[in-house]
């Protein structure tokens, strides 16, 4: 029974971890142009135009 646990931990564990990371990266959503503009306006409102 102990051998199966270590096999799962060493062989299948990293595969499951990689699958989870790939899933999260694929599900991440990009901002639409309208959302990006709204975000940019709010940042300027909070921090001002600090271009140096």
Please state, in angstroms and as integers, the Cα–Cα distance from residue 20 to each residue in 11, 26, 29, 35, 52, following that order. 15, 10, 16, 27, 41
Note down pLDDT in tens along the chain; length 52 residues.
Answer: 788 888 888 989 899 999 999 999 999 988 899 999 999 999 999 998 766 5
Identify the CA nearest to 15 among candidates 7, 26, 25: 7
pTM > 0.75: no
Query: What are the backbone angles phi and psi of residue 11, rounded to the nearest 5°?
Result: -95, -45
């Amino acid at each position: 029974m102990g051998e199966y646990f270590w096999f799962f931990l060493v062989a299948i564990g990293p595969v499951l971890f990689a699958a989870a990371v790939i899933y999260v990266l694929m599900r991440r959503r990009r901002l639409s142009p309208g959302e990006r503009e709204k975000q940019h306006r709010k940042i300027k409102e909070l921090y001002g135009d600090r271009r140096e």
